[in-house]
């Protein structure tokens, strides 16, 4: 089925998972195992100086198996996003980042202007930038042209589970893109993942859809299969959609009963 | 001398480097990153980075998130 190439990294899995919102880290770890994912997102936050447990997310993520994709979730300005990426690079030793600059607390839609500004700065600083962005073909092209390693248009608001709200825009973005298109945010269930892949997406990123499912491990399995099925169907080349019927059985040699 | 660490004001009664600060806070240097006044200080520079009165320090690590 081919591999997903982002920057200089090759991934056999086209499914990227988030680490947030799981009932506990054990369920998270098992979900990753079952999903076949090879890259997981992490957030960057202040160390809790009063936390004496010593437990850390990274204790549950085997970095030999999973690449870390730090995000800039919670950043509302380009300046904060850039600083977060620099801190992430220093803490984790990784150059790849999921850039999020949020414009509105309710929708968590990206601030497009600030995202473009931050992406420009981060690319100059040598980061491999994967921007979370609105499903607008024009802005996706701008992000590609400035040197982003992929574009990540949202399917629907983060955590909404609405699925692909505008498959036509996603299809246009894919048609015009020379870099990977990874649908990110808003996925709800396996058919959403399959649809994204059938449209021709190179990958899909989700968090809540798996972590928030009643059975996250089972949903991780479903998503794995949905992504694989969707990608296979895309590569198989589907039949066109038609308004009227096109018979599947021959029109000759049909039996006619005699009328008495 | 006072510095702010992760939003909380700390009084320091002696000159401190970032390495000293991390030891004082019982934080191992792996898996974390520090910024002083919005500038990231690489780990190799921690021993010679001396804190000044009014410095704002952010100490971060990776946590769960999408």
Report the range of poorest mean pLDDT among A97-106, A121-130, A226-235, A245-254: A245-254
Condensed to tens digits (0 to 9), the pLDDT of residues B20-66 reads 999 999 988 888 999 999 999 999 999 999 999 999 999 999 999 98
Query: What is the percent of chain A where pLDDT is above 70?
Result: 98
What integer best gives the mean pLDDT of chain B? 94
Strands A96-99, A67-70: pairing is unpaired
pLDDT value at A49 more than 60 = yes
**Residue A67, Cβ neighbours under 10 Å: how many?**
16
B40 touches chain A (CB under 8 A): yes
Condensed to tens digits (0 to 9), the pLDDT of residues A156-189 reads 999 999 999 999 999 999 999 999 999 999 999 9
Q: How many CA atoms lie within 13 A of A43 on its CB side?
A: 16
Q: How many CA atoms lie within 13 A of A137 on its CB side?
A: 13
Identify the pLDDT of residue A260.
56
Q: How far is B54 from chain A (nearest CA, A)?
A: 19
Helix, coil or strand: residue A75: coil
Identify the pLDDT of residue A2.
76
C-beta separation of A154 from A184 below 8 A:
yes
Strand-pair partners of A10: A5
Tell me the CA distances in angstroms from A182 to A65, A154, A210, A214, B8, one per residue in order.
20, 9, 17, 25, 39
Condensed to tens digits (0 to 9), the pLDDT of residues A69-89 reads 999 999 999 999 999 999 999
Across the interface, of B35, B64, B66, the residue whose CB is closest to A83 is: B35
pTM to 2 decimal places: 0.94
- Euclidean distance between CA atoms A50 and B9, whole angstroms: 14
């Amino acid at each position: 089925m081919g591999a997903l190439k982002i920057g200089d990294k090759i991934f056999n899995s086209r499914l990227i998972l988030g680490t947030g919102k799981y009932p506990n880290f054990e369920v998270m770890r098992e979900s990753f195992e079952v999903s076949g994912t090879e890259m997981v997102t992490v957030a960057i936050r202040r160390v809790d100086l009063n936390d004496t447990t010593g437990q850390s997310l990274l204790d549950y993520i085997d970095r030999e198996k999973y690449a870390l994709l730090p995000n800039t979730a919670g950043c509302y300005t380009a300046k904060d996003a850039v600083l977060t990426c620099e801190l992430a690079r220093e803490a984790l030793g990784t150059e790849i980042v999921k850039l999020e600059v949020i414009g509105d607390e309710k929708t968590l839609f990206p601030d497009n202007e600030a995202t473009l500004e931050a992406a420009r700065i981060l690319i100059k600083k040598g980061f491999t930038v994967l921007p979370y962005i609105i499903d607008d073909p024009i802005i996706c092209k701008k992000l590609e042209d400035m040197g982003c390693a992929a574009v990540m248009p949202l399917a629907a608001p983060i955590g909404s589970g609405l699925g692909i709200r505008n498959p036509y825009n996603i299809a246009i973005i894919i048609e015009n893109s020379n870099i990977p298109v990874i649908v990110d945010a808003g996925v709800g269930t396996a058919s959403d993942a399959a649809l994204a892949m059938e449209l021709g997406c190179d990958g899909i990123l989700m968090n809540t859809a798996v972590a928030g499912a009643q059975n996250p491990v089972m949903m991780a399995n479903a998503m794995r299969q949905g992504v694989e099925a969707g990608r296979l169907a895309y590569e198989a080349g589907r039949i066109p959609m038609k308004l009227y019927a096109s018979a599947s059985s021959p029109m000759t040699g049909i039996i006619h009963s005699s009328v008495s | 001398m006072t510095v702010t660490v992760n939003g909380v004001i700390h009084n320091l009664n002696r000159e401190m480097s970032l390495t000293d600060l991390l030891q004082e806070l019982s934080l191992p240097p792996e898996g974390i990153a520090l910024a002083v006044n919005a500038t990231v200080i690489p780990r190799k520079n921690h021993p010679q980075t001396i804190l000044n009165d009014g410095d704002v320090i952010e100490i971060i690590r990776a946590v769960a998130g999408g």
